[in-house]
Chain A
């Protein structure tokens, strides 16, 4: 009887699993199919691998010098323009800085705005944004016949809106974050199956981070999981870190804190996501603990600063690897996750996730169970760690470059801006190379005591930032690098210094060209194999988003936002001069204003500038047809 019951249970469980799989898979497949087409760019990172890689070859290393502007669009707003537009079924969807307008343009005639959504937001949201009024992009859900295709937009004031992708009308709108407690939204929403995943911002105001999954059709909350606190609120069950128990398992979301400090413990996730449909896992990183003053929060401060893999349906945390235990430098661990399948050093094929972190280490883990495969320095000038011990997973600290009360730490590399920040990088699966957009900034740091008041900044540190050892410390230039890295060998195929931090990210193409925008206002194209500069264009303003590409009517286009801002732009944007203002970024980037000013818009390039208007000069003329005389 017992055995019978058991097998019966097992059978029904597996049927449920099967049903779940089948219905889930079909909803997934639509977006996966769309992402495979060169005519679309439906999500952050282009596909669920989030590798910003296009198989297109029309624009290649031989002809990229003929790239010209095809058309352009101004969003009508200033401040940092992050992320990249979406292109789906012949329509481009554009996001903007606060107040987070959305524009839909028909690629047949991009001069005519198909629809626009202009949210009315409480202007007080501006005052609790730590690092400019940015937004990292939109998400798309393809519809199911009953519910129309939807565009999702996160607003700085904490709202998540679903818009009818055809008309721009609001379909639903929920409250995810409350600015009254310092919680905002800058992260791009991410659609998997019939869920939209939304992160959080506000660790600089003591916000305890959480990620939430909403039902795309109804706005109903499906799961919400935190970065700190009791296991059930984090999503830690019996299987957590089964393959790597030395990473830590149960009870650490409170045990690695003193008292209730975890309640204002940070760990917000405002970076990027990736997803593996075979493993059903969502990958992202949690941010820095609060406050920046390390002395006020003894303990490892788990599970901030953690690479996380969550079951997409339940939010359950399958594995978590804390990169920076007890952060002392604001190395918010939210950076890009890129999936690849490569052979490890022993020749074994592995499913991998690669993650260049703020803390100066680029991590590659087995994405099935979280096992460490490699953890190398992004640049040899990193000095806060001697190395990462792959066996224990522990980053070995150099106490000389730690921070603490009553002490001014100097020459700490990387700075709080990291050797890598919100840049969305790319991976070329043929060359097995990651194209990294890197910062080269170091710092001095001195913490101070401060109280926590909900809705007020809760930082507690003064910073001085400046170029790293390979830059020009006298003239405050040489703040960035671009590198082509093989994460299995740990070797760079090539590496190049940049005048300013390469803040926005990169895009790689099968044409052997990798593209990226710069803070000083260039879109650049380099030879994927050698790093040789092949082409560049001077844009109206610096870029902090990443390039994208798509094909329309047989023509390949490359598009990128211009509009400087974000953390490196705060001095320029808010007209600040004190070098320690803007959380220390003002001093480091004091020369940025000599190369660029604010802007806000999109540039679209093609070979010889071919566009709907170069093909038909009468397109969009008034009246549409010449009157017959």
Chain B
């Protein structure tokens, strides 16, 4: 009984200690870099059960799309500056 009570108190103390050291945003590695893993969570998720396993091909899609839009827009503007006529369909713009 006494032993049981002791274990209970120790567990309670441990819980209290964990929450006291839990991520509160105030302990910074560097200015503007104050993230910490929460108790029981890894510093890096790669290789852990929380690994997002992102596909690099998927991650590259936005950048590729933006560069393509920028190139089409540049063509439209160049044509507009040259001719005074805005043509949206880049296939109708002859170089």
**Chain A residues at the B interface, C-beta cutoff of 8 Å:** 170-176, 178, 180-181, 183, 207-208, 210, 218-221, 224, 245-249, 252, 255-256, 258-261, 263-264, 295-300, 302, 322, 325-326, 389, 392, 394-400, 402, 404-405, 449, 451-454
Contact = CB atoms under 8 A, between A and B. Distances in A.
Contacts of B77: 172, 174, 218-220
Given A221-B74, A255-B33, A299-B35, A181 B62 contact: yes
A298 B80 contact: no
Interface in B40-93: 41, 43-46, 50, 52-56, 58-63, 65-66, 69-70, 72-74, 76-77, 80-81, 86, 88
B94 interface: no
A252 B34 CA distance: 11
Contacts of B69: 174-176, 178
B59 A256 contact: no
19 contacts: A174-B73, A176-B69, A219-B76, A220-B73, A220-B81, A221-B70, A256-B33, A258-B44, A258-B45, A258-B46, A263-B60, A295-B50, A322-B32, A396-B25, A398-B24, A405-B50, A451-B52, A452-B54, A454-B58
Interface of B: 19, 22-26, 28, 30-35, 37-38, 41, 43-46, 50, 52-56, 58-63, 65-66, 69-70, 72-74, 76-77, 80-81, 86, 88
A406 to B, nearest CB: 9
Contacts of A395: 25
A219 B53 CA distance: 39
Interface centre among A173, A180, A392, A454 (most CB of B within 10 A): A454
A460 to B, nearest CB: 9
Interface centre among B52, B53, B61, B73 (most CB of A within 10 A): B52
B34 A325 contact: yes
Q: In terms of DSSP, what is the predominant structure of the interface of chain A?
A: loop
Interface centre among B23, B38, B80 (most CB of A within 10 A): B38
B62 A263 contact: yes
Contact of A218 (B28, B58, B80): B80
A260 B35 contact: no
B46 A181 contact: no
A247 B31 contact: yes
A356 B84 CA distance: 44
Contacts of B58: 264, 452-454
A402 B23 contact: yes
Contacts of A219: 73, 76-77, 80, 86
A453 to B, nearest CB: 6
A53 B59 CA distance: 44
B86 A173 contact: yes
Nearest to B63: A263
B25 A394 contact: yes
Contacts of B76: 172, 174, 219
